[in-house]
């Protein structure tokens, strides 16, 4: 069982945010073009005020019920995105709270979006670029048809590459997602976590999803 992250310090989180922005600039990207999303799956609600104090504005949750509870406890403090595995029956619960759902990848989710979405609803489609068995996401070849069936606006794509010991091993998958997005005129690319975010940034990420990189104090 993973322990919850407690004892966050605003000055450390702010320093880590600043460091990540410097790193983004160092690899040739404008930090203003890359949103830093704080993944808060393991951050309890009572610690979220520390993130706000540190300058975090965009947060992402993996579980619909936790997102709703945390957003209700911190009204107006953050922009919320949903970044976890999407159960279609949770779509209705999520829509009042989120800017984007990052993980739309099934026709049942599209059905729920058609039922409960609106002209303002924005989503990203999760693509299983590596074709990993048992992993969420549609196959790249299915993307054109899936986009055509979407009843709401798709603004971009998301992927999770295979687990790998070296960040560089994620590059082919990030590059493939970028090419897919370009082919379909989709501006947002949600890719890269604490393990490989700089490679993702180099390959065009517009949203990086960070947890331990923001919350730890090991890096200078």
Per-residue model confidence (pLDDT) at position 218: 46
Per-residue model confidence (pLDDT) at position 33: 98
Q: Give the pLDDT confidence of 12-66 residue by residue, as tens digits.
A: 999 999 999 999 999 999 999 999 999 999 999 999 999 999 999 999 999 999 9
φ, ψ at 164 (rounded to 5°): -150, 150
Q: What is the pTM of this model?
A: 0.96
The pairing of strands 79-82 and 58-61 is parallel
CA Rg value for the chain: 17
Confidence of residue 220 (pLDDT cuts 50, 70, 90): very low
Confidence of residue 217 (pLDDT cuts 50, 70, 90): low
Q: How far apart are the first and last CA of the chain?
A: 29
What is the average pLDDT score of the chain?
A: 96
Q: Residue 220 CB: number of other CB atoms within 10 A? A: 5
Quote the CA–CA distance of 95 and 82 in Å, as a whole number.
Answer: 9
Per-residue model confidence (pLDDT) at position 141: 97
Per-residue model confidence (pLDDT) at position 109: 98
Q: Domains in the chain, please, with CATH?
A: 10-212 (3.20.20.10)
Q: Give the pLDDT confidence of 136-157 residue by residue, as tens digits.
A: 999 999 999 999 999 999 999 9
CB 107 within 8 A of CB 92: no
Confidence of residue 219 (pLDDT cuts 50, 70, 90): very low
Query: Is the pLDDT reported for residue 166 higher than 50?
Result: yes
* pLDDT over 90, % of the chain: 96
Q: Give the pLDDT confidence of 74-95 residue by residue, as tens digits.
A: 999 999 999 999 999 999 999 9
Per-residue model confidence (pLDDT) at position 1: 58
């Amino acid at each position: 069982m993973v322990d919850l992250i407690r004892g966050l310090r605003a000055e450390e989180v702010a320093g880590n945010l600043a460091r990540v922005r410097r790193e983004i600039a160092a690899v040739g990207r404008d930090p203003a073009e890359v949103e830093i999303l704080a993944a808060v799956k393991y951050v309890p609600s009572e610690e979220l005020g520390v993130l706000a104090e540190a300058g975090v504005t965009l947060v992402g949750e993996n579980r619909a019920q936790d997102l709703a509870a945390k957003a209700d406890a911190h009204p107006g403090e953050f922009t919320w995105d949903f970044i976890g595995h999407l159960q279609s029956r949770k779509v209705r619960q999520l829509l009042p709270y989120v800017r984007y759902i990052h993980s739309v990848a099934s026709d049942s989710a599209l059905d729920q979006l058609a039922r409960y979405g609106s002209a303002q609803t924005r989503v990203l489609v999760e693509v299983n670029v590596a074709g990993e068995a048992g992993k969420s996401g549609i196959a790249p070849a299915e993307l054109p048809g899936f986009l055509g069936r979407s009843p709401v606006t798709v603004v971009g794509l998301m992927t999770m590459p295979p687990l790998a010991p070296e960040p560089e091993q994620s590059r082919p998958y990030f590059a493939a997602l970028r090419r897919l997005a370009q082919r379909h005129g989709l501006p947002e690319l949600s890719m890269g976590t604490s393990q490989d975010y700089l490679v993702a940034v180099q390959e065009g990420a517009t949203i990086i999803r960070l947890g331990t990189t923001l919350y730890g104090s090991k890096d200078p």
